Amino acid sequence: MFAIIRRYRTTSTEEVVSKIEAEFLPIIRNAPGLVAYYVVDEGQNVQSSISIFEDQEFAEYSNKLAAAWVRQHPYVLPETPDIASGEVLLYTTASGAAHAGRSVAPLSL
């Protein structure tokens, strides 16, 4: 799996979340390889989106989708986001199952 974290500085958290929910969620929801998408309020009008995809190719395609949407909404997201991305090396689920990515040895718990 592959993750992308985009961090935005905005003027209104409520407006950003409303626009994302109404206009971007339908786009990202249909993106190939999507595992999960989250928007996190960091406070002080800073939000991060966390996107998890099956692989890097799908994640990079989502960057194009997000960039196109941001270009169409400069009044909502006036600044270029800080972007971090990389392979998911380890994650767990509520059921307690732990999983290791391809580049680390499987976990034995």
Residue 107: pLDDT band by 50, 70, 90 thresholds?
very low
Least-confidence region, from 22-26, 88-92, 99-103: 99-103
Q: Report pLDDT for 100.
A: 64
Identify the helix (H) or strand (E) that includes residue 59.
helix 56-72
Model confidence pLDDT, tens digit, residues 39-90: 999 999 899 999 999 999 999 999 899 889 888 887 777 778 899 999 999 8
Architecture in CATH of 2-100? 2-Layer Sandwich (3.30)
Residue ranges covered by each domain of the chain: 2-100
C-alpha distance from residue 95 to each of 48, 67, 92 (Å): 26, 35, 8
Q: Report pLDDT for 77.
A: 77
Q: Report pLDDT for 105.
A: 47
Specify whether the CB–CB gap between 23 and 17 falls below 8 A. no
> Is the pLDDT reported for residue 104 higher than 80?
no
Q: Say what the pTM is.
A: 0.82
Site of tokens 């194009």: 64
The span from the CA of 91 to the CA of 101, in Å, is 8
> Is the pLDDT reported for residue 109 higher than 60?
no
